[in-house]
Structure 1
Amino acid sequence: MNGCKMSRVSRELFDHIKSFLHYKLKTMIRIQSVNDLELILKWQDRVLECQSLIALKELNHKLYNQGVRHTIMMQGLFLFFEYFDNRIKLKSLHNLAEEQGYRLLI
């Protein structure tokens, strides 16, 4: 993924990971004031604008440093994405066999 284009399946998986982080930002953060709301909306927009895994990782790291601790689980998803992108070649996520899923988890 070093600057090269993602395959269709990798892009689909990346979009799902990005959507998950966006969902976590929408639902798991307590908003204390209007300033917090503005900041959270800004972070949500920045997540949706990310076009690469590297940018999403950097943004996730910034969120963690800002005190959004529930994003730590994203590291596992990033590792899963890298493993998936490097080792499994599929034309569609729907073709992912159950056996391949077990191998991914082990």
Structure 2
Amino acid sequence: MRAAIRPGRTAEDVYRAWRSSVDAELGVPNDRHHCGYPIGIGFPPAWVGGNTVIGLRPGNVMVLRPGMTFYIQSWVIRQEVGSHVVCDTVLVTEDGCELLTATARR
């Protein structure tokens, strides 16, 4: 997902990249309504999900620009493989994105 976050891409582009990667790894579709959302003073949290999330989701043609920040989440809920969610905060930079999360990856 972080590799897909770059200026000029749309929110839907990021969602498609995430969904494609997860679906390929699982070998089955992982149907989630979004994989993140913008955060900051102009964007209150949107944990309610569904069509109210304005973030990284199908159909959102919002163009990413440097300076935007996103809460990104890879959320998989599959009984066969178990459930997991990995979340980060990222900043869109001039040439990609910067990971703002400082938690160790181990």
Considering fraction of residues, name the structure with more strand: 2
Short-chain TM bin: 0.3 to 0.5
TM-score, L = length of structure 1: 0.35
Q: Computing the radius of gyration over CA atoms, which structure comes out larger, 1 or 2?
A: 1
Higher RCO, Cα 8 Å, sep 6+: 1
TM-score, L = length of structure 2: 0.35
